[in-house]
Amino acid sequence: MGYTDQRFDVNLSILFTELPLLERPAAAAAAGFTAVELWWPWIETPTPPQAELDALKKALGEAGTQLVGLNFYAGRLPGPDRGALSMPGGESDRFRANIDVAADFAASVGCKALNALYGNRVEGVDPRTQDTLALENLVLAARAADRVGAILLVETLNKPESPLYPLVSAPAAIEVVDRVNAATGLGNAKFLLDVYHLSMNGEDVSQVIAAYADKAGHVQIADNPGRGAPGTGSLPLELLLDELTKAGYDGWVGLEYKAGDRPSAESFGWLAAEARAAR
């Protein structure tokens, strides 16, 4: 089990960033991977020109890579932003403008998971106002995802790196997931179980897996400390993936780690070549 019993994909927004966006799918394929995921690639706009969407679709197809996860518009990532959907005014409007654009692009490439980052707390705004807005926008996003046969992911981040982000525990994210599902009746909101963020929050990752694996729609990994590749920190990632498998999770595991001071293609030595392609 462990690393040989999972379906891995590469996050092209944190790995292969030494290359232009349209060259990253081919680079992932050259490293042996057939599946990739992305944060929203156009940080300045929720509604990029159709030609740019088409160019990304072409790059994915020519590389033979399947897009298995895509973020909705979330502002500047990496950077100070941690989402847009709960932020009143322009950012919330930009998120809404992005919903159908992202869902339709996902449908065009067969992507079945859309991730909606909750958004930072805003000084001077009542958190209850933000939470009400968040639920409204997550309901819209869940319905759009359902329209294209996808799930909606809700993600926990970590307080040390994202101190203004309110979902910094697994139970907090699960509460939002349950609220969205209750509001829509669709049941397609799921938990994005990010092992690195959970560990940075000091949570017992094994306990989170035992409690919530049945609500997980996607998993992401990086080692801790450092957010590097497996083996660069102290997390028992192989054991944790075994626990996920035993708990019934059979979905994708996204490699969302930093390559460090080496080319991204050199950061996969921990994973046997035969385990990289989707099976």
Tell me which residues are annotated as active site. 155, 256
CA distances from 62 to 106, 108, 121, 181, 276 (A): 17, 14, 41, 37, 18
Two structure tokens written together for 38: 């992305």
3-state SS record for 101-134 = HHHHHHHHHCCCEEECCECCCCCCCCHHHHHHHH
Q: Across the strands, what pairs with 66?
A: 35
Q: Which helix (H) or strand (E) holds 52?
A: helix 50-63
CB 103 within 8 A of CB 67: no
The 10 Å Cβ neighbour count of residue 258 is: 18
